[in-house]
Amino acid sequence: MEKFYNETLRRLETAINELEIEVDCSIERIETVINLIVKCLSEVKDYVLKKGFKATDEEIRFFKYQKPAIVAKLIYYNAIYKIETKKPYGAKSIRKYLTKELKKLKRFFDNNLDFYKYYRSNNSFLDEKMFLRGNHDIKLWLDTYYFQFDQSFSTSHDYKVAKIIANDLIQVYIEDQLYNKFQKVQSKVPKKLKWTGSKVALIELIYALHYQGVFDNGNNDIREVAQYFESAFGIDLGNFYQTYLELRNRKMNRTKFLDALREELIRRMDEQDEK
């Protein structure tokens, strides 16, 4: 199952990526993508109904993680298709329309807060009730539309997981539309940002990015990267080699700034999830 699923998902994502690049008309592109996903989902369904699962854990993993990953794409592109085809004319009307769509996502989150917490906390104590076929419990945040699904290929909560994944993507899409159309300041010369953190923190970040190979596929010297940051932020990093050696020689907290970045990002994500 694992090999078949991974190969099927890889083919789907490759096809979608190619369409994102090659097709000009967004509406036609979305229609094509939706058809690809429907076809892929049908292939996966045929395989599951024919082969079944070797063990309970495999079935849970499929309905908790694997099937939702594909269905989420279908929900996302279908939502974008509706948004684009129903979008009104006029900047004010579009802003109101997109804001209303964001409120729908917030409403879904509020109505399913308990399940959001369960799923995003990686809990598993209810998985056998939520992600095994024919084992539903109506007390566990069960939606009426579950009873309309083909229960040979559905569990009580696999669609809800897909909806969570898709809604995150839809929110990003809508917020990007709002930003690009109504909030982005049009300027040929972007405002120059000033680094107000410590030089040590910036040097720690520069070395981390350099070793990750994120600039020119890693085909550059650390000095080039450092000089770019100095120019971009108008800062003199001095002898950054020496500073890096001091970081390496720390007995504790050698990645103090990066650790703080990670903790703050997770904290903000958790706060936004709860809003």
Q: What is the pLDDT of residue 189?
A: 58
Q: What is the pLDDT of residue 187?
A: 46
Pull the structure tokens for residue 194.
Answer: 């000033």
Cα–Cα dist 183/180, whole Å: 6
Q: What is the pLDDT of residue 275?
A: 61
Q: What is the pLDDT of residue 68?
A: 95
pTM of the model: 0.66
DSSP characters over the chain: -HHHHHHHHHHHHHHHHHHHHH---HHHHHHHHHHHHHHHHHHHHHHHHHH--SSHHHHHHIIIIIHHHHHHHHHHHHHHHHHHHH--SSHHHHHHHHHHHHHHHHHHHHHTHHHHHHHHTT--TTHHHHSSTT---TTTT--GGGGGS-TTS--SSHHHHHHHHHHHHHHHHHHHHHIIIII----SSPPPP---S-HHHHHHHHHHHHHHT-SGGG-S-HHHHHHHHHHHHT----SHHHHHHHHHT-SS-TTHHHHHHHHHHHHHHHHHHH-
One pLDDT digit (tens) per residue for the chain, 275 residues: 888 999 999 999 999 888 877 545 588 889 999 999 999 999 999 999 999 999 999 999 999 999 999 999 999 999 999 999 998 888 888 899 999 999 999 999 998 898 999 998 889 999 999 999 988 888 777 777 777 778 899 999 999 999 999 999 999 999 888 877 665 544 455 678 889 989 999 999 999 999 988 888 888 889 889 999 998 888 888 888 888 888 888 877 889 999 999 999 998 888 887 76
Domain boundaries, the chain: 2-183, 199-274
